[in-house]
Structure 1
Amino acid sequence: MSQLNNPLHGVTLEQIVTALVDHFGWPGLAKQIDINCFKTDPSVKSSLKFLRKTPWARQKVEELYVATKLYQ
């Protein structure tokens, strides 16, 4: 199966979170996706730990990344 049209192909979760934080900032990201790892003492490391264990939250982050077209 080809991954040519998949905007997440070859992009790590860390790259996604970093791009979203650069674009929205932590407060803006917390408004977009209401999860504590973005609101309370946020860091990329703590967010990655949570998102790797929480599939629904990771999906929301990936969907926001694709929706904002930060991969272009």
Structure 2
Amino acid sequence: MAGEQRNNPMHGIKLEKIVTDLVDHYGWQILGEKIKINCFRSEPSVKSSLKFLRRTQWARDEVELLYKETFIEQRTSINPWDNLKPQD
């Protein structure tokens, strides 16, 4: 079973961390604009967001996708070898 998650970049990241990191990065207002769900727009809190996201798979999928695009894909797209210059 552990081998099945080897290539899953979201493995081991809890939903609470995902929401907290996104709020810290974007703030509630921008997060509510990016993902149009009421728990991000009307009296937002981590607790209410977690409750909604645990019950609503499509919304959770949207949040996880934004997290991947914001934090994971930008890490993997940077190639440290790109900065090396060939020696003459």
TM-score > 0.5 by shorter chain: yes
The two structures, once aligned, show a CA RMSD in angstroms of 1.5
Is 1:3–1:9's contact at 8 Å kept on the other side of the alignment? yes
Provide runs of 4+ in structure 1 moved above 4 Å.
none
**How far does residue 33 in structure 1 lie from its aligned partner after superposition?**
0.1
Aligned length: 72
Written as runs of structure 1 = structure 2, the 5 A alignment for 1:1-72 is 1-69=3-71
Length-normalised TM-score, structure 2? 0.75
Moved more, 4-13 or 22-31: 4-13
Q: Deviations over 1:7-53 (max 9, x none)?
A: 21100000000000000000010011000000000000000000000
SS at match of 2:5: coil
TM-score of the superposed pair, with normalisation by structure 1: 0.91
Rounded Cα–Cα distance in structure 2 between residues aligned with 1:29 and 1:67: 13
Please identify which structure carries the higher helix content: 2
Ranges in structure 2 where 5+ consecutive residues have no aligned partner: 76-88
Asked if the contact 2:9–2:72 (Cα under 8 Å) also holds between the matched residues in 1, the reply is no
Q: Which amino acid aligns with 2:55?
A: K
**1:5 CA drift (Å):** 2.5
Instruction: Tell me the amino acid that sits aligned with residue 37 of structure 2.
Output: I
